[in-house]
Amino acid sequence: MKGFQPPPRYGGSMISHEPLPITKTITVTEGISVKDLAEKLDVRGKDLIATLLMKGVFVTVNQSLDGELVKDVARQFGADATVISVEEQLENEAIEGFLEDTTGMVEITRSPVVTVMGHVDHGKTSLLDAIRSTDVAAGEAGGITQHIGAYKVKITKPDSPAFGREIVFLDTPGHEAFTRMRARGAKITDIVVVVVAADDGVMPQTLEAIDHAKAANVPIIVAVNKIDKPDANPDKVKQQLADRGLQPEAWGGSTVFVDVSAKKRTNLDLLEEMICLVADISNLKATPDRPAVGTVIEAKLDRGRGAVASVLVQNGTLRTGDSYIVGNTFGKIRAMFNDRGQPITEAGPSTPVEILGLEGMPDAGDTFLVMADRDKAKGIAQYRKMKEREAQLAKSSRVSLEGLAEQIKHAGMKDLNLIVKGDVQGSVEVIAEDLQRMSTEKVRVRVLHSGVGAITESDVLLASASNAVIIGFNVRPDRKSAEVAERENVEIRLHSIIYELRDEITKAMYGLLEPVFKENYAGKAEVLNVFKITKVGQIAGCRVTDGLITRTAQVRVMREGVEVWRGKIGSLKRFKDDVREVARGYECGLSFANFNDLQVGDVVECFDVEMVPG
């Protein structure tokens, strides 16, 4: 056709193969779409798609892009790209917004968030109960805290200098949950109260708690509990802690020590006042008018309400109807409840709340952010979910030469496969990691799947296919799952105390090992003469030279130091009588089952076999 011009090919005059010189810097959020990146780069969407196509990446205009790919393609268009998380972007926008327009934005002093830590059974929960005037410990299995809870306490003593102020207490099941949150970048604790029993002194977990608090760079207050006990010695506790760098104020140091008794409710007001005093020194501020930012303390699956998360609002105000993103899930606040279970419509800074309306299950320590654009929140959540899935697949499928060598080295190992289900996310994560750390050189503990909620039919089928044991922590199988488990011969073990669970897994690991048989030497006899008796066979006339020869024991016949036969004694006689045993120095007659090649001078060794775990 006359005048027809073919369309330019990719790589033709419209699109350059060579990257342009860097002339500008752009900042983009993770999971940015092709359309948004084209706007940032100030190029046409189809040119960007063409460039990606040349790199072998097939995308549509609304598709999310990986961070490294964004940097690479931005360089092609003369831009240096910095990829930040959506949390960082929103925080930057909020800060910029405050700087530009501070009208109506009032900064207030917020309530301190206090984490209570210490050794097991030193009275952490009891102290919290006394402060809250409720009883949590009685409802905990074995009196051990299994979940993370957050409680807001108001100081109601009229003559107290801190009257009317509020404190938020976090009660944790252990330091692992605290560390896990810190590892995820969750800076939620303002003050750590380390509880030490006055009658017990400093214990390993006490030191662990102090180390965690120091690593988090958080002020420490020591509550010396159980001072009402007759053998209480608070000065001994102070001395032990002073040796470890926590010098009491009374001794010229900087650490606040308060002697308390949770049982007798002694000095609880003083502890609250000291917490407020330390908080005032830290100068804790928040802006209630901004969009809410917080951290997930705990998440669980509720049969009637779906996914439920406990969130500590750290800044801004959270309201019913707000759209938000948290980790790799998103949602809209359908309902909110305070720490006492009462419905509320808004929550200000330093307020723990339980929220409904999650699309999935977040992890403890995930950042919670209110976003105006629900669709954008959904897109980012989906992108994060996809990235997490890719990382898991890569971890499970990629084999390096080092990994292959490791597999060959561990080929003789036994695997104990487990599926862990629990009632809350924090417990499940800690248990799964704790169990995997129990692996030894001979037995490897593998957690194939862990999750929140009741034990389902699919859990049982997975266990059946992979020869795994199901661990239920504070959850039970439903009727259908229990029936399937019985039919498929899958073992389900239910627990409510983590220490008992650990003991049981240790026993199971021993059970997996091949038993080791240990020989216990019993005695020795020398063959002096050999008699052949018709229809009976050979009888050895012996003298016991050492120990005992026992009728039920096993024997080996040694000839010139070489074993020629091993088996059981057929009969053991003294003169004409059958006997159970013959001691050293005595003579006896021996016959052996299925062995008739005895010679004078042979030595008969007697032993028994004991089975010991591998």
**Based on the domain organization, do 319 and 446 belong to the same domain?**
no
DSSP 120: T
Tokens for 499, please give them.
Answer: 């220490």
Strand spans (E) along 107-190: 108-109, 113-118, 149-154, 166-171
User: Exposed, middle or buried: residue 55 (CB in 10 Å: 0-12, 13-18, 19+)?
Assistant: exposed
Does 128 fall in a domain? Answer: yes
Element (H, E) at 432: helix 425-436
**Based on the domain organization, do 232 and 129 belong to the same domain?**
yes
Tokens for 565, please give them.
Answer: 């036969």
State which of 229, 258, 283 marks the end of a domain.
283
* Pair 369, 325: CB distance under 8 Å: yes
Does 68 fall in a domain? Answer: yes
C-alpha span between 224 and 274 (Å, rounded): 14
Mean pLDDT of each 10-residue bin along the chain, 614 residues long: 47 53 76 81 82 81 78 82 68 46 66 82 77 57 52 77 80 57 62 84 77 79 84 82 80 82 81 86 83 83 80 87 82 84 86 85 80 76 74 54 54 76 81 82 81 85 84 84 85 81 76 66 90 82 90 86 84 86 89 83 87 60
**Based on the domain organization, do 531 and 477 belong to the same domain?**
no
C-alpha span between 420 and 145 (Å, rounded): 19
State the CB neighbour count (10 A cutoff) for residue 169. 22
Strand spans (E) along 52-112: 79-84, 108-109
State the CB neighbour count (10 A cutoff) for residue 584. 14
- Predicted confidence at residue 7, as pLDDT, reads 46
Does 576 fall in a domain? Answer: yes
CA atoms within 13 A on the CB side of 82: 7
Q: Which residues pair with 33 in a beta bridge?
A: 64
C-alpha span between 45 and 54 (Å, rounded): 14
C-alpha span between 21 and 27 (Å, rounded): 18
- Predicted confidence at residue 131, as pLDDT, reads 80
CA 474 to chain centre: 16
**Based on the domain organization, do 341 and 238 belong to the same domain?**
no
State which of 216, 249, 283 marks the end of a domain.
283
Does 58 fall in a domain? Answer: yes
Q: What angle do CA 480, 483, 485 make, to 5 degrees?
A: 110
Contacts of 399 (CB under 8 A, 6+ apart): 407
C-alpha span between 328 and 95 (Å, rounded): 24
**Based on the domain organization, do 124 and 18 belong to the same domain?**
no
CATH number of the domain at 606, please.
2.40.30.10
C-alpha span between 127 and 132 (Å, rounded): 9
**Based on the domain organization, do 117 and 172 belong to the same domain?**
yes
**Based on the domain organization, do 272 and 305 belong to the same domain?**
no
Question: Contacts by 280-285 with C-beta closer than 8 Å and gap 24+?
Answer: 281/219, 282/112, 282/190, 282/191, 282/219, 283/109, 284/109, 284/110, 284/111, 284/112, 284/190, 284/350, 285/107, 285/108, 285/109, 285/110
CATH number of the domain at 468, please.
3.40.50.10050
DSSP characters over 259-296: E-BTTTTBSHHHHHHHHHHHHHHHT-EE-TTSBPEEEE
Residue 238 backbone phi and psi in degrees, to 5: -60, -40
CATH number of the domain at 184, please.
3.40.50.300
B/e letters for 37-52, b = 16+ CB within 10 Å, e = fewer, are bbebbebebeebbbbb
Torsion sign across C-alpha atoms 502, 508, 512, 518: positive
* Pair 481, 460: CB distance under 8 Å: yes
- Predicted confidence at residue 577, as pLDDT, reads 85
Does 395 fall in a domain? Answer: no
C-alpha span between 92 and 81 (Å, rounded): 17
pTM of the model: 0.60
* Pair 154, 338: CB distance under 8 Å: no
What count of residues does the chain have? 614
- Predicted confidence at residue 411, as pLDDT, reads 60
- Predicted confidence at residue 230, as pLDDT, reads 80
- Predicted confidence at residue 528, as pLDDT, reads 92
**Based on the domain organization, do 342 and 214 belong to the same domain?**
no
Contacts of 251 (CB under 8 A, 6+ apart): 238, 242
Structural domain span for residue 535:
516-612
Angle between helices 479-488 and 457-466 (to 10 degrees): 20
**Based on the domain organization, do 297 and 267 belong to the same domain?**
no
C-alpha span between 246 and 256 (Å, rounded): 9
State which of 48, 67, 84 marks the end of a domain.
84
How many folded domains does the chain comprise? 5
Element (H, E) at 224: strand 220-225
Tokens for 163, please give them.
Answer: 């009257």
Angle between helices 67-76 and 45-54 (to 10 degrees): 110
- Predicted confidence at residue 145, as pLDDT, reads 45
* Pair 583, 522: CB distance under 8 Å: no
* Pair 41, 79: CB distance under 8 Å: yes
Does 189 fall in a domain? Answer: yes
**Based on the domain organization, do 484 and 521 belong to the same domain?**
no
Does 102 fall in a domain? Answer: no
Q: What angle do CA 559, 563, 566 make, to 5 degrees?
A: 120
For 468, the 3-state DSSP assignment is: coil
State the CB neighbour count (10 A cutoff) for residue 341. 7
Q: What is the pLDDT of residues 222-267, one digit of tens each?
A: 888 888 888 778 888 888 888 877 888 778 778 888 888 878 887 8
Does 570 fall in a domain? Answer: yes
**Based on the domain organization, do 506 and 569 belong to the same domain?**
no
Tokens for 122, please give them.
Answer: 């030193």
**Based on the domain organization, do 229 and 309 belong to the same domain?**
no
